[in-house]
Amino acid sequence: MSAVMNSSNRTQPALSERTIVITGASSGFGKGVARRLAEQGAKLVLVARRTDLIEALASECGNAIAVTADVGNANEVERVSNAALVQFGGYDVWINDAGVAALGYFDEIPLEDHHRVVQTNLLGVINGSHCALHEFRRQGHGTLINIASVLGKVPAPYYASYVATKFGVVGLGAALRQELRASGENESIHVCTVMPGAADTTFFVHAANYTGHRLQPYPLDDPEPVIEAIVSAVEAPRDEIAVGTGTSTAILSHNLAPALTDIANGVVTHQNQMEQAPEQLPTPGSLHQPQDAGRGVHGGLKEQLAREQGGVH
């Protein structure tokens, strides 16, 4: 049996011998990760609200199944776990990638939108982590990968409930690793937290936007380095992985000088998003209902911004 070495110097089965659950698989990082893992022969359980997209992706990926679910619903997440057990006899890796956002002045965003962000980003991760760790402990091994954000370490204005959930995801991972170390299970069960910066995925296509302006994150990276980081965590788990332009620097800066970093980040974000970005009408995005737009890995925002600034003709 072929195998790879993880960060604890213990062998793991090759990807072709492992089953991997991916939430948020209909677009963005989730779709990109699914394709990369399928290339290496992994068995996949693809999860999202958009049935047509994950069914098409499952057909593309080969040895894969599609399970329609809203990760904020614990019963639906349990159904995902059961489907993986029935189809593949278990799973070796669970990736919590589903995520949403509502941007704008905190008190101008409808309260139900904030609740929905928390339901998906934090409760969804808790639901998936609960199923995964229960199964990993039963079988004696497994890797849980939770997708957080640099905003889980370094806050930014106009992302308030999103920031709160990502701080929660980072904290959840740290607490779970403490439990696993205390019980002596940290050599066989791993909890990884991936913290990307802003990336040009469908995330900003789907986000609820109450800023009064078009969403204009900066800096904006390509999604491929994040996809590669997630795939690397499958093969060689690490506790926390920061990826993206300036992400590690921003985290270090916040650790060393939190007050100054908060002030600087607040000023830059306000100018870029609330003063310089073109005006746009409010939209709830895909918070409460899936939308047809944003079906690929890339969101196209980076190209659009470059074109408007004269960088692409």
- Tell me which DSSP letter residue 273 carries: I
Q: Are 131 and 77 in contact (CB under 8 A)?
A: yes
- Active site annotation includes 162: yes
Burial 67-99 (b: 16+ CB within 10 A, else e): bbbbbbeeebbebbbebbeebbebbbbbbbbbb
Closest CA to 23 of 52, 2, 1, 44: 44
Instruction: Tell me which amino acid residue 122 is.
Output: L
Q: How far apart are the first and last CA of the chain?
A: 51
- State phi, psi for 217 to the nearest 5 degrees: -70, 150
Q: Are 225 and 231 in contact (CB under 8 A)?
A: no
Closest CA to 120 of 285, 240, 262: 285
**Omega of the bond leading into 219 within 30 degrees of 0 (cis):** yes
Pairing of strands 93-96, 19-23: parallel
Break the chain down into helix, strand, coil percent, rounded to 5: 50, 20, 35
Residues 61 and 44: their CA atoms lie apart, in Å, by: 8
* Beta carbons within 8 Å of 296's beta carbon, 6+ residues apart: 27, 31, 202
Catalytic-labelled residue, pool 91, 158, 159, 162:
162
* Active site amino acids: 162
